[in-house]
Amino acid sequence: MSRRWYEDLQHPHPFVLHEKIELHARIRCIKPFPDIWSNNIDNVLPSVWANTKLFDPELAQQLQFRSLDPILWKEMIDLFKNALVVADDQRINIIWPSGSTRSVQIELRELSQPQVVPHDKVNVAWALSPHKPYEPMVIFSYCRLVYIFNARMRVLEGCLRGHGGEITSIVVHPHAAHIFCTTSRDFSSRLYDLTREPQLQANNPHWPPFKKPSFAGPSHGLDMSIEEGEGIGRCALVLVGGRSGGHAGEVFGAAFHDTHPVIATCGMDRAIKIWHIPPFSNRLEQRLLREDKPLFSSSSVHKARVLSVNWLSRDILLSHSAPARMFVLPESSTSVKTSPESTDSKQFGPDEPGSLSLWKWLSIDRFFPSDWDKAASRQVRLNPFKGAYQESISFKILSNYLFPPQIDQFITPTLYVCRGGSLPFVIYSYPHTQSLTIVNIALLKRRLLPPPLPGKSHSSDLWRHDEQIQGWNLALDDSLGREETVETCAMISGSSAIIIIGGSRGSFCVFSGNST
């Protein structure tokens, strides 16, 4: 029996250009319609909102007695299964590459001042509320605000404020599609619920010795002093940054666990944190929750800022980082007490390339033992000890690969993780290039021993140095224009795998190939 192309790096990939669309604007973000919704037509409620009970038992109990019309659900899936959300700097486009449905365009107002960080962009995601199960929502961020757009009715459903910095990512829970998380440069992450309405009036307690309600704000787990927004959606939980256990820098990415009430975040402080999500407050009280101590936190997985994190299984995660600046002591220095903080004596060698790490969280059974979800009651608050929420060692690097070297630390890859098929794939591209790389995670080699201590070496043959990541190269010279480069990418895996590429000058390319 012949091997499939993704099982052997020597086999060529099957992807060929299927369609090209010109949007005439720099494409910053692409989000395909979630295939997990379309793959479970006969078992809708358990797949789309199966984990609602972890966050909102009251709503989960209502959903148990609710049934969906399979004809209306299939009609919605047939309409949107090929839809893509494509965002540039001034527009949100919902397009159907097949041309079966007329495209939707949302114009964004032009900013009076340009973005401070060039990497900041419009972030988009798909969501689905059980209150409107046949009307998919497009969540997008712009100018520190979160917008909720009804893609079926083509109307704006809500607008929410809360972050004090630019929003860096939006992720939706895979099995509670009405719950989403936004990360921001204000060091915090916020979890929203589409089935609730925005907070219109602050209802905060007073903090002694003051007798008036506190105006400390959401960073302290309190309501803001102004309206949260309008329409639908409400912030239910804030993962705050700070010295206790939160991020000490900008938060770049997040990922919900499929089956457990936890979420992983990563950021500028090189740290990856795993947070517990307690049940949201009841709908009569509508109290904003606050978490400042994660169950796991470590800055030792990567050597530089961590750009993304993804769950692959119950306790396996995949993360990637930017290049790391390497400090080198002067050759004339022989003192062990030489201070690296002295700017006059600082010397930097070549940057170490960014890394792609596959690692295991070792302490998940401590917080979630066997059959934890079948117990008569659930512990609402999980209190980690100091060694877990400040600098934990309860992880194991399974595999670590290096990205191609770059001229400086600011050139970082755009990476997309596809988990739709039987095997997870990673595709990534670098700015100002006309190619991308496809990686089969199953082919990553296991790192059998940790790296040796400085000045020492392993005598065992089980140790090997981290290698440069290997994959299939998809050249785009003939697909993009002569001066156009890859800006972003996405992948849909199934019986027919699809790769979508957005160009720096508006070229939107769809590549198709047989996944077998």
For residue 77, pLDDT over 80 is answered with yes
Is 247 in contact with 267 (CB distance < 8 Å)? yes
∠433-438-441 over CA atoms, to 5°? 140
% of the chain at pLDDT higher than 90: 52
Of 127, 152, 122, nearest to 140 by C-alpha is 122
pLDDT at 316: 96
Give the mean pLDDT of 218-222.
Answer: 67
pLDDT at 334: 47
Is 141 in contact with 108 (CB distance < 8 Å)? no
Residues 162-200 pLDDT 10s: 898 899 999 999 999 999 999 999 999 999 999 999 988
Residues 347-366 pLDDT 10s: 777 888 999 999 999 999 99
pLDDT at 210: 80
Main-chain phi, psi angles of 29, to 5 degrees: -155, 140
Main-chain phi, psi angles of 398, to 5 degrees: -90, -40
For residue 436, pLDDT over 50 is answered with yes
For residue 337, pLDDT over 60 is answered with no
Is 486 in contact with 436 (CB distance < 8 Å)? yes
- Residue with structure tokens 């001034």? 90
Question: How high does pLDDT run on average in the chain?
Answer: 86
Pairwise CA distance, residues 172 & 174, whole Å: 6
* Distance set, CA 32 to CA 38, 43, 60, 416, 501 (Å): 12, 21, 27, 12, 12
Give the mean pLDDT of 323-337.
Answer: 66
For residue 41, pLDDT over 80 is answered with no
Predicted TM-score (pTM) of the model is 0.91
Give the mean pLDDT of 496-514.
Answer: 88
pLDDT at 458: 55
Confidence at 378, pLDDT banded by 50, 70, 90: confident
Confidence at 125, pLDDT banded by 50, 70, 90: very high
pLDDT at 103: 87
pLDDT at 338: 47
∠54-490-361 over CA atoms, to 5°? 45
For residue 346, pLDDT over 50 is answered with yes
For residue 67, pLDDT over 90 is answered with no
Sorted by sequence, the CB contacts under 8 Å of residue 32 that are 6+ apart come out as 83, 84, 490, 492, 498, 500
Pairwise CA distance, residues 425 & 492, whole Å: 10
Sign of the alpha-carbon dihedral angle for 453, 456, 460, 463 = positive
Give the mean pLDDT of 332-342.
Answer: 50
Is 92 in contact with 85 (CB distance < 8 Å)? yes
CB atoms within 10 A of CB 497: 24
Residues 454-463 pLDDT 10s: 666 655 555 5
Confidence at 220, pLDDT banded by 50, 70, 90: low
Of 153, 163, 82, nearest to 120 by C-alpha is 163
- Among 228-232, 335-339, 369-373, 476-480, whose mean pLDDT is lowest? 335-339
Torsion of CA 115, 117, 121, 127, to 10 degrees: -110
Residues 246-275 pLDDT 10s: 999 999 999 999 999 999 999 999 999 999
For residue 112, pLDDT over 70 is answered with no
pLDDT at 336: 47
Of 36, 316, 54, 307, nearest to 183 by C-alpha is 307
For residue 68, pLDDT over 90 is answered with no
